[in-house]
Amino acid sequence: MKLLQINTSLNSTATGKIANQISEMCISNGYDSFLAFSGRYPENNKTDNTIRIGYKFDFYWHALITRFFDRHGFGSIRATKKLLKKIDNIKPDIIHLHNVHGYFINIEILFNYLAATKIPVVWTLHDCWSFTGHCAHFEYIDCNKWQKSCHTCPQKSSYPASLIVDNSKDNFVNKRRLFNSVNNLTIVPVSNWLDSKLKNSFLKNYSSKVIHNGIDLKVFKPRAQEVFERDLNKEKKFILLGVASVWSKKKGLYEFIKLSKRLNEDYIIVLVGVGEKLKKKLPKNIISIARTSNQDELAKLYSSADIYLNLTFEDTYPTTNLESIACGTPVITYRAGGSPETVKDGAGFILTPGDMDALVGKVQELKGSAIPAVSSKFLREIAIEKFDKDNNFLQYLDLYKKILGL
């Protein structure tokens, strides 16, 4: 079997790590695997099994037509045609799509090709972009236009942002036409929540199978709980940790600020992924740490915290929750998207989005031992059972074999 995956990145984002881990899993089982990714990221582009789609110029041009004309997914013409020539040379048995948004590929050229060649396609959905006229998420603003027809988009200025034109109606029509043109397509939502949305979208007639994301349990495991005492001199504090690649209102930034005003000096909030500009605006009782791609350092941060807080208002299936649990730290999350699915079986607590009284109360109960502490060993056992990438991603291999009749 010969597999070709297409994704925005190769290793620098959560979806990139997932695609790379699936590739490694296939290779370890004796199959050929290739990865195509955006030219915006020059990572590993010289290895034999990776294909760089376009270059930075292609990315910037695609971003330009998105910003001015809301034509995201319809740029990168030259780069996509070059990719198709490489696919013809590789002759994959199956093509696995991940994120096809991100200013790097032309969905019209790609899906016309997939429809014509009849190569079996698996499409992992990490968000909602595939069935909307513009946005990647809509839960925060409670928009349901995507169920019938997008128009007059209330999130035009959100990713993928358009500064002038609202083309959401035409985008919706074109996506519906293109994405329903491939006969042999199996869709893989990464959460039950996303699967439920899929069944109300224009992709509802396709077969779908939920496969939850997995993480590397050899990296994310309980570590020596000393990082804050040693590096931040915050001994004997009750540590509340938050992690994001980009902090925003939707990701719960202002929830952490509100929380900081409700807690006394016995608590400390630590946010990872904070840039210099935002750092200057945070209250003094919030410690900020720059974004890190060092997973070992991240595992140490999870292990050193008393609680991991995910106060997002929309998310599909956040891997940060999985990473924290695997490191032995319980999670408090809002009931948003697929986030609650990650903290079942006693691994954490689920609260109503924006209920600050409940959040403060739960944090204080945990610190004061009003709620029995969840042991690191218990959380680790949950992670081993549910979050191991080696087990979860084998489901893709089984799916490929089923589709190909192997």
Residues 196 and 105 placed together within one structural domain of the fold: yes
Give the rounded distance of the alpha carbon of 190 from its chain centre: 9
Give the pLDDT score at 228. Answer: 60
Neighbours of 85 (CB within 10 A): 9
Residues 235 and 131 placed together within one structural domain of the fold: no
User: Which tokens is 24 given?
Assistant: 């490694």
For residue 293, pLDDT over 80 is answered with no
If DSSP codes are grouped into helix, strand and coil, which group holds residue 328?
Answer: coil
For residue 41, pLDDT over 80 is answered with no
Residues 128 and 81 placed together within one structural domain of the fold: yes
Question: How far apart (Å, rounded) are the C-alpha atoms in residues 108 and 177?
Answer: 10
Residues 369 and 393 placed together within one structural domain of the fold: no
Q: Are 161 and 66 in contact (CB under 8 A)?
A: yes
Q: Is residue 241 situated within a structural domain?
A: yes
From the list 84, 96, 83, 91, the residue with the least C-alpha distance to 23 is 96
Strands (E), 150-266: 185-189, 207-208, 238-243
Residues 116 and 187 placed together within one structural domain of the fold: yes
Residues 159 and 132 placed together within one structural domain of the fold: yes
For residue 227, pLDDT over 70 is answered with no
Give the pLDDT score at 45. Answer: 52
pLDDT, tens only, 341-400: 999 888 999 999 999 999 999 999 999 876 677 889 999 999 999 999 999 999 999 999
Domain count for the chain, please give it. Answer: 2
pLDDT, tens only, 304-322: 899 999 999 999 999 999 9
- How much is the average pLDDT of 200-217? 97
Which pTM does this prediction carry?
Answer: 0.93
- How much is the average pLDDT of 95-106? 97
For residue 229, pLDDT over 90 is answered with no
Give the pLDDT score at 284. Answer: 86
pLDDT classification of 225: cutoffs 50, 70, 90 = low
Give the pLDDT score at 13. Answer: 83
Give the pLDDT score at 12. Answer: 74
Residues 191 and 81 placed together within one structural domain of the fold: yes
Q: The domain containing residue 270 runs over which residues? A: 227-386
Residues 185 and 293 placed together within one structural domain of the fold: no
Residues 202 and 252 placed together within one structural domain of the fold: no
168-179 vs 107-117: helix crossing angle, rounded to 10: 20
Give the pLDDT score at 236. Answer: 73
- How much is the average pLDDT of 293-302? 89
